[in-house]
Amino acid sequence: MLLSEYQQKASKTAKYPKPYRVVYPILGAVDEACEACEKLMNRLWPDGNVPKEHYPLYTVLLTTTNIGKMLGKVKKQIRDRGGLLTPEGEEKLADLVIKNILQVPEAVQELASECPQDALWYCGATATDLGLNLDEEADKNLEKLYDRLARGVIQGEGDKR
């Protein structure tokens, strides 16, 4: 599957208030990366016994996990509870996104160089390290998303919803 095809199909499952465009998906990407850090940490040290020589890595993963939990709460507040800001704040945010990002080609390129470009590299490297194929993972992700959409559980919590 071409990435542009995945992007078009996945966009049909994007359920977040428009004033948060650009902001919400970037917060979501960070939240998901932090969730992956938590799963990695739990697999590396399932019993919680962290060898002293692993403390620096463990501390970074634990901190990242906790940041992700906070971001997850913010993301769900935006997506499931109609927003984080007052209507006036959302209007000002929407204006800022348009004026300072969407209408400024340098800003678009600055953000693009990080997410999706560099983030995509890390996704590809992770898939390679895990022996996965990104085409197959994109198909699986769309299956999951469209199943959630059909069951009305795009919003909500949990990997298994």
89-114 pLDDT, tens digit per residue, is: 999 999 999 999 999 999 999 999 99
Model pLDDT, residue 125: 94
Model pLDDT, residue 82: 84
What are the residues whose beta carbons fall under 8 Å from the beta carbon of 129, sequence distance 6 or more? none
Cβ 6 vs Cβ 70: under 8 Å: no
> Residue for token digits 């850090």?
37
Cβ 3 vs Cβ 136: under 8 Å: no
DSSP at 133? -
Segment 140-152, tens digit of pLDDT: 999 999 999 999 8
Model pLDDT, residue 36: 96
Q: Tell me: pLDDT of 157 over 90.
A: no
Model pLDDT, residue 161: 67
Q: How far is CA 43 from the centre of its chain?
A: 21
What are the residues whose beta carbons fall under 8 Å from the beta carbon of 102, sequence distance 6 or more? 22, 108
Segment 40-77, tens digit of pLDDT: 999 999 999 999 999 999 999 999 999 999 999 999 99
Model pLDDT, residue 139: 95
Model pLDDT, residue 155: 78
Model pLDDT, residue 67: 96
Nearest Cα neighbor of 159 from 132, 133, 140 is 140
Stronger pLDDT, 12 or 1, i.e. the higher one = 12
Q: State both tokens at 36.
A: 């992956």
Predicted TM-score of the model (pTM): 0.86
Longest dimension (CA), the chain: 51
DSSP at 158? -
Domain boundaries, the chain: 3-151
